[in-house]
């Protein structure tokens, strides 16, 4: 292995060319490290489609980086020398390359970040600039507040981003939030767009075989795998939503219907969360669609609120309150999850629909998660 000045780790949810830790990159002398490790795939029983998505997207991204002339060391799950953990692989490749520095963008997971910090490796940490609000900024916003209201945080993010604002800084339409217009029942004649689909190339097919063999005991099926694994496919999925579903998203984002798993939802959360789409571009595209007159204000504001309001807010609360947050149990709930959460076999149709589509597609939209599977667990006293 040729020596490296610096070792730059790219995690499975950091597949962005403008990742902060890549900015000090010297393409000739620095080494990009990407690893598939059993610890990250099994610390909880991830749906096999999630594992396949991340592994396939990582392998495609590694090829794209090589095409740009970067030095990439990619460790596959079945590599006989694979240590099985990210700290272990960092230690192994630092020794092999003699790198004096390791550069990493902040993790999305407290457990993983803490394990790297506990390893004693010489890591230079970079803030994840793909989010609108940094951890430090959120902590400053929360400081001294008795309540952390998402609505007030969201207004700050609107002001910061200048999205859907008039020239004087007031919100377009005279209100910050049009959530009351996002709760319409789905009409019987409504026809949601047919879901966009993606062909599995050789890389994805190879990953599906690997995941099927190694994670056969995880709940969920690989049969209907249909996620974008490249930046181009993710952009195509996003454009499909803009063209065919965004106009209906505003009215029906809280709707549910039997045997309709997707309705007018974008299905871009996975691509966004692993770095195949850019938050700022998505918001800009939605705002442009509103200004062009192709969608209503409730659709534009409702979608932007999910991204710069809820998504950023939940991330901020997570990093503000971890690790104690993971052990929180305000209501003292103690019951275990019923078996049907893993099978979908229950006489409750709403639960059967939400869990069944989760098993089949590795997907459920926010109302199904919050108001069906989550709310049942709350009412039943489940921990």
Q: Is the pTM of this model over 0.85?
A: yes
pLDDT at 51: 98
What is the average pLDDT score of the chain? 94
What is the chain's length? 383
**pLDDT tens by residue, 257-269:** 888 888 989 999 9
Distance CA 154, CA 4 (A): 43
**pLDDT tens by residue, 55-95:** 999 999 999 999 999 999 999 999 999 999 999 999 999 99
In our burial notation (b when 16+ CB lie closer than 10 A, e otherwise), range 300-323 reads bbbbbbbbbbebbbebbbbbeeee
- The CATH superfamily label for domain 329-383 reads DNA Cyclobutane Dipyrimidine Photolyase, subunit A, domain 3 (1.10.579.10)
**Distance from the Cα of residue 382 to its chain's centroid:** 25
| Portions of the chain given CATH number 1.10.579.10 | 329-383
Backbone angles phi, psi at 156, to 5 degrees: -65, -40
Angle between helices 312-321 and 135-142 (to 10 degrees): 80
pLDDT higher than 70, residue 1: no
| Portions of the chain given CATH number 1.25.40.80 | 135-193+245-327
Please give the class, per CATH, of domain 135-193+245-327: mainly alpha
| Portions of the chain given CATH number 3.40.50.620 | 6-126
How many other CB atoms are found less than 10 A from the CB of residue 162?
9
What is the side-by-side strand order in the sheet with 31-35? 72-75, 31-35, 6-9, 101-105, 123-126
The verdict on domain 6-126 having CATH code 3.40.50.620 is yes
Residue 298 and residue 181 in contact, taking contact as beta carbons nearer than 8 Å: yes
């Amino acid at each position: 292995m040729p020596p490296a000045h610096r070792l730059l780790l790219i995690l499975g949810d950091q597949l962005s060319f403008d990742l902060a830790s890549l900015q000090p990159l010297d393409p000739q002398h620095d080494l990009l490290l990407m690893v598939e490790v059993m610890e990250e795939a099994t610390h909880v029983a991830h749906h096999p489609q999630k594992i396949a998505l991340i592994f396939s997207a990582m392998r495609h991204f590694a090829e794209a980086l090589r095409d740009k002339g970067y030095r990439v060391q990619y460790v596959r799950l079945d590599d006989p020398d694979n240590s099985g953990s990210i700290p272990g692989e960092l230690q192994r490749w630092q020794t092999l390359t003699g790198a004096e520095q390791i550069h990493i963008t902040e993790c999305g997971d407290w457990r993983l970040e803490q394990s790297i910090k506990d390893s004693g490796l010489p890591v230079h940490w970079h803030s994840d600039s793909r989010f609108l609000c940094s951890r430090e900024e959120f902590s400053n916003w929360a400081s001294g507040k008795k309540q952390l209201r998402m609505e007030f945080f969201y207004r700050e993010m609107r002001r910061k981003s200048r999205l859907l604002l008039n020239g004087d800084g007031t919100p377009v339409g005279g209100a910050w939030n049009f959530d009351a217009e996002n709760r319409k029942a789905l009409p019987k004649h409504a026809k949601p767009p047919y879901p966009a689909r993606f062909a599995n190339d050789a890389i994805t097919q190879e990953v599906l075989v690997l995941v099927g063999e190694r994670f056969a005991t995880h709940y969920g099926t690989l049969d209907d795998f249909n996620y974008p694994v490249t930046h181009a496919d993710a952009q195509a999925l996003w454009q499909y939503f803009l063209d065919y579903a965004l106009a209906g998203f505003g009215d029906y984002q809280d709707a549910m219907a039997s045997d309709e798993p997707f309705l007018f939802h974008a299905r871009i959360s996975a691509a966004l969360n692993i770095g195949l789409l850019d938050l700022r571009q998505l918001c800009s595209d939605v705002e442009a669609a509103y200004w062009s007159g192709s969608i209503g204000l409730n659709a534009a504001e409702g979608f932007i609120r999910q991204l710069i309001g809820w998504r950023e807010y939940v991330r901020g609360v997570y990093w503000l309150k971890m690790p104690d947050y993971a052990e929180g149990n305000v209501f003292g709930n103690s019951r275990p999850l019923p078996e049907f959460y893993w099978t979908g076999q229950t006489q409750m149709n709403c639960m059967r629909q939400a869990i069944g589509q989760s098993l089949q597609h590795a997907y459920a939209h926010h109302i199904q998660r919050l108001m069906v599977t989550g709310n049942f667990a709350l009412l039943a006293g489940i921990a």
